[in-house]
Amino acid sequence: MGLNKILKNTIAVTTICFSSITVINANEQSYFAVELGQVKFDEAVANKEGINTTANTFRFSMEKKYTVWTVAGGIAGFLYGDNENFKQSVVDQFGNQSTASSSSSSINIFVEGGYSYAITDAVSVDALAGHEHLISSSRSISNCSTCSSSDINVTGGFYLNPRVSYQWDNGLKMSLVYRQYLSGDIENAFGLNGAWKF
């Protein structure tokens, strides 16, 4: 292959790449999202760990949309319904004695991404996939370093995440979200997601 042909091919490929990047950046949209919902666990695992089979869940995430592709990641958590909560006598820094009750929760991280199809200028349907990992999951008494605590052994996993969204002209987007987990101890989850474009 001659030098001229190599140069022409190199210029052509470079032009295509930069054109694609320009198009992607031109259509890039950034969102901050908050989601509230409910999650369902495997019944055998929930019984073993002393929690209800369902729990309230929350998510805070950053989301980027590039033309028809969406990627997101953030922090999440479960607020367990605890069947094995406990009470313990505690003494505060002033010497006052009281009885405190335990609470049960988790802190999770997640990443997800997938395809977004615009039905109209306002309505879109997304087909996403992701993974959620629990980095801390326990029952304990808040603000007490000497109190008893125990781990709640629930594992996250991979999931499929279809959702339907409606976006207003002011940049607010609301989505109905469903997640079907393919691994781990979580069966499914659903929620309402509110996102703000910035």
Domain borders along the chain are 29-197
Q: Please, which residues have CB within 8 angstroms of residue 167's CB and are 6 or more apart in sequence?
A: 122, 124, 173, 197
C-alpha 116/C-alpha 112 separation (Å) is 13
pLDDT on residue 60: 98
Phi, psi of 197 (to 5 degrees): -80, 140
Please tell me the CATH code under which domain 29-197 is placed. 2.40.160.20
C-alpha 131/C-alpha 127 separation (Å) is 14
- Local confidence band at 44 (pLDDT 50, 70, 90 cut-offs): very high
Q: Which carries the bigger pLDDT value, residue 93 or residue 121?
A: 121
- β-partners of residue 166 are 123, 174
Of the listed ranges 18-22, 137-141, 193-197, the least confidently predicted one is: 18-22
What's the token pair of residue 65? 């949309």
Q: Model pTM?
A: 0.81
DSSP letter, residue 24: H
Contact 100, 144 (CB under 8 A): yes
C-alpha 32/C-alpha 65 separation (Å) is 12
Average pLDDT over residues 90-112: 91
